[in-house]
Amino acid sequence: MSDSAAVAAAGERRWIAQALGRLRQEAARSADTHLLKLGFAGFPGIDFYFKDEAAHPTGSLKHRLARSLYLYALCNGRLRAGQPVVDASSGSTAISEAWFARLLGLEFTAVMPACTAPRKIADVEALGGRCELVQDPARVHERAAAHAAAGACHLDQFGLAERATDWRGNNNIAESILGQLAGEPHPEPAWIVCGVGTGGTSATIGRYLRYRGLGTRLCAAEPTGSAYVHGWRSRDRGAVCSRPTVIEGIGRPRVEPGFLFEIVDEVVEVDDAASIAAMAVLEQHLGRRYGGSSGTNLAACLELATRMRERDERGSIVSLLCDPGERYDGTLSDPDWLRRNGLDPAPAAAALRATIASGRWHPPESV
């Protein structure tokens, strides 16, 4: 190596060390997210816990993913000083990635479908990120790859979510939950329930449960007819969705590489109307608003709880609050928008209330 190349390489390593230092400082400034406890009248002996991932500085569980993706890119020598950063994201990931790009002094571009909620676009831009809107949602990966070919670092949430997080520990979401449950009546949950977008969260939780030798089962809460529902049942990675969904962050149209069939024990389907109805139930019980996928999680938790009750089982069920409800003011929380999209959450809301009161499962069409 020439002297000047050696000097450049040493400068590069210094920058990586500084960037890692900044990420460490950010982690040290951030608190752990709360594990909120709920009980429902119809389910005596079953404790519900919700990990409030909306409490992260960038408002969603993607804060963890974005931190992991930057660490992974830096430690793999894929991200260098001054290099622009790109990813394909429908919103929450882009917000968190833009935030970390600003922290590291890097330019960030989010490639997103043109139909993304305007509020999320504004959030990315407010953090100094650039949004490139693509009409055909199926082409976002292609656009991100084109940026990478031109020299950008592709954070690649869908390709790397499953491997970027330290699944054995480092206070990943699973280690944090189980630590917070240590003093509770049922410290080893019967179920942990989460939706699947990149598959990163379910991969981390599923692996950690096995690593710790726990009997806790992992349930994926998914919009009815999503690719993961079909793919998991048939073990077919080529599966596609049979129904679109309005719930952002989950219910992918295709099986992403980060979704690991083997560590998911059950998949519960939730209709969009029920997910939206469940957002209101969460607000009523927690006094705060959360997004659509948090509603999907609650609906799936209640279905699992009715099965536990039928068998007279006691125990705890843990799930996640993924992002804040305010992000959906112009969509899922707007009655006009719901009407325009042919969605009426009222029957599902009545069914959920009946389930909560009785402990028996009331399908939305039954009430």
Ligand X SMILES: *Cc1c(COP(=O)(O)O)cnc(C)c1O
Shortest Cβ 60–ligand X spacing (Å): 5
Q: Which of these segments, 116-124, 145-153, 198-206, 338-346, binds ligand X (CB under 6 A)?
A: 198-206
Q: Quick check: 251 binds ligand X (CB under 6 A)?
A: no
By beta-carbon proximity to ligand X, the closer residue of 62 and 230 is 62
- Contact region for ligand X (CB under 6 A) — 56-64, 144-152, 162-170, 263-271? 56-64
Among 189, 197, 206, 359, binds ligand X (CB under 6 A): 197
Closest by CA to 306, choosing from 157, 226, 190, 220, is 190
Candidate ranges 9-17, 58-66, 110-118, 357-365; the one touching ligand X (CB under 6 A)? 58-66
Instruction: Report if residue 55 touches ligand X, rule: CB under 6 A.
Output: no
Cα gap 202→196, rounded to integer Å: 7
By CB under 6 A, name the one of 201, 216, 319, 331 that touches ligand X.
201
SS3 string of 21-86? HHHHHHHHHCCCCCEEEECCCCCCCEEEEEEEHHHCCCCCCHHHHHHHHHHHHHHCCCCCCCCCEE
Going from the C-alpha of 68 to that of each of 27, 316, 332, the distances in angstroms are: 11, 29, 29
Task: State how far the alpha carbon of 125 is from the alpha carbons of 99, 134, 135, 205, 287, in Å.
Answer: 10, 16, 19, 32, 29
Closest CA to 198 of 138, 238, 158: 158
Q: Please list every residue from 263 through 322 that binds ligand X, using CB under 6 A.
A: 291, 293, 322
Candidate list 85, 193, 205, 250; residue touching ligand X; CB under 6 A: 250
Among positions 160, 196, 270, 318, the unique one binding ligand X when judged by CB under 6 A: 196
Question: Under the criterion CB under 6 A, does residue 195 sit at the interface with ligand X?
Answer: yes
- For residue 332, the 8-state DSSP code is T
What is the contact surface with ligand X in residues (CB under 6 A)?
Answer: 60-62, 92, 161, 195-202, 249-250, 291, 293, 322-323
